[in-house]
Amino acid sequence: MNTPRQRLRRGAGWNRVLVPLMRGWVASVERTSKVPRPMDAPRAHASGYDSDRILIFGAGPAVGWGVTTHDLALPGAVARALSARTGRGADVDLIAEPGMLLSEAPAAVQRLNLSRYDAAIVVLGVNDALALTPVVQWRADATAFFHALRLLSPADTKIVVAGIPPIRSISIFDSALGTVADRHAEALNRESADLCSSSPLVTFVPLGAPPRSRVDDERHRSPQEYAGWANQLADALVPLLASQYHPHDRRLSRGRQGGAVETARQDAVDRFELRNDGSHARIMRILAVARQAFHVEVAAVTMIDGDSQTYLAQVGADLKSSARDTSFCDIAIRGEGALMVRDASEDDRFSDNPMVSAGPRIRFYAGFPVELPSGERIGTLCVVDSEPRPYGEFDDVLLRELAMMVQKEFRT
């Protein structure tokens, strides 16, 4: 994908001197700037039960300029801000391309499975403001993008469009030409707000310049600034999520169904390889913690592959691969949160299962789905014991936290 400086041709209606001047200025700033950005897995989460699933998509503030982890950037800040307001967990995925223009967004969003998410936050416009994309073109691009979102999103997926923050609040663009881009950003924001006001699917949230903290100009942004934006976005998202909230199965009937889901999932399993950089050893340590924390005989990471359940790693008794149709984990990956079976011998779903009546004689099981960055669930993190557990508290939040730690090892 090209950068904004390579695509300023879209300013055909602008002053023939101003557009080349802006192009040269942006190119010079980008060439000399060495702003850090996150290089870790593009996701973040906040602890809690029955987590909300959020996608952040776009450029500009979505990229995380100025910080070195996504936990300190917008994904982590949004996860924490949402969880603080809802009391639930929050899982935030990020798809960001530094040079993306709004005109490219419809094609990019075609590759996304929006049915995975309760809400999506769209962060676009800084590049268009710097490129001086004509307002009439911006409106046409935004209309096409919103149309694509309507076609691809389930009816109850909430879409939030973040406004373009002040360009001069970006330290490297704080100059006289930054003022030109700022004025243009204001015009583009007015168009976005007008379009969103007429769409029941899309909510516009203006992003003001958050209070600047004392950072080196080369850092561009600080964690405090991302936290400020996250608070603005969370304030808009919470009532939208509340209007659709119901427990664990709220996403299961949306999006791709049946065979399409399984085909995509199996394709992901076929491509999957655990990274050869110590990931297996780290997963084994996570499982050791899980086994001790839940006082169980076995903790394992399973994979559902074709008609079988296999083990990527396990700590405790040596469980063997088994048929998928006897797998507790196959049921777990079809749910949204943790699957807990306190006494399998008294559960109609499992009482006749050979894993219960013979073999390891499973009584207690708890599993949480684990998935690849692309969203396909390959199996679970599960804990298993031959003794039933009485009714009472079970820390499914801890189980989820450990599952999220395992997922980080699946980054490609």
| Predicted local confidence at residue 9, as pLDDT | 47
d(CA 99, CA 120): 20
- Specify the pLDDT at position 254: 40
pTM over 0.85: no
d(CA 257, CA 252): 9
Note the pLDDT of residue 2.
53
Residue 104 identity: E
Q: Which of 74, 73, 76, 83 is nearest to 47 (CA)?
A: 83
What domains can be seen in the chain, in order of their start residue?
Answer: 4-251 (3.40.50.1110), 264-408 (3.30.450.40)
Report d(CA 35, CA 33) in Å as an integer. 6
Query: How far is CA 89 from each of CA 46, 129, 203, 206, rounded to the nearest angstrom?
Result: 5, 35, 22, 25
pLDDT for res 27: 72
pLDDT, residue 1, reads 52
pLDDT at 236: 94
Instruction: For the chain, 412 residues long, give each residue's pLDDT as a single digit of tens.
Output: 555 444 444 444 455 667 677 777 777 776 667 788 898 888 899 988 778 999 999 999 999 988 999 999 999 999 999 999 999 889 999 999 988 999 999 988 887 878 888 999 999 999 999 989 999 999 999 999 988 888 887 777 889 999 999 998 887 888 888 898 999 999 999 999 999 998 777 899 999 876 655 555 556 788 999 999 999 999 999 999 886 544 444 444 343 445 777 888 888 898 888 777 788 999 999 999 999 999 999 999 999 999 999 999 999 988 888 899 999 999 999 887 889 999 999 999 999 999 998 878 999 999 999 988 777 889 999 999 999 998 777 888 899 989 989 988 886 5
Q: How many other C-beta atoms lie within 10 A of the C-beta of residue 208?
A: 12
- What pLDDT, on a 0 to 100 scale, did the predictor assign at position 11? 42
3-state secondary structure of 311: strand
* Structure tokens given for 176: 């006289």
**What tokens were used for 396?**
């499914």
Distances (CA, A) of 216 to 40, 80, 274: 22, 25, 38
